[in-house]
Amino acid sequence: MSDRRPDRVYGIIVRDGRVFLCRYGDRVGPPGGIFRPMAEDRKAEVRAHILDQLGIMCRAVWAQGAFIYHHPIEEIPQFSGFYTVWTWDGDIPADAGEWLDAGQIAEADIEAGLRVLLLSIATTQAVDTR
């Protein structure tokens, strides 16, 4: 097990069994970007990227994992950390991307590693055990 620092951090926004992916030309990918060299908090970086890119304020961010991923706007694959966002304040602009359910994720032009993660997240059911 490693706590290796990712080169990039991406957020996976989740609502009602669907995940949100931004449009990058004719492809889709999660919002996010570089994990700045002097940054210390991965979740704070994800929040900042999502606020800059989508204008929403994430209230809760959970770590999901990390692997080598080739984002549509990157020239080469990077070691990337992925984080889910289940609650936020504000509205995601309708033209920023698209909401995909499990069937759409399976059909989308997405790298295999990210596809598996997105399918897992989209089919997760949260249960309040209080």
CATH number for the domain harbouring residue 79: 3.90.79.10
* Tokens linked to 96: 């920023």
In a domain, 53, yes or no: yes
Supply the pLDDT for residue 126. 56
* Cα 59 from Cα 127, distance rounded (Å): 19
Q: 78-89 and 8-15 as β-strands: parallel, antiparallel, unpaired?
A: parallel
Tens of pLDDT, residue by residue over 50-97, are: 999 999 999 989 999 999 999 999 999 999 999 999 999 999 999 999
In a domain, 87, yes or no: yes
* Mean pLDDT, rounded, of the chain: 90
Residue 127: is its pLDDT beyond 90?
A: no
In a domain, 97, yes or no: yes
Residue 104: is its pLDDT beyond 90?
A: yes
The share of the chain scoring above pLDDT 90, in percent, equals 75
In a domain, 54, yes or no: yes
**Buried-state track 45-72, b at ≥16 Cβ within 10 A, e below 16:** bbbbbbeebbebebeebeebebeebebb
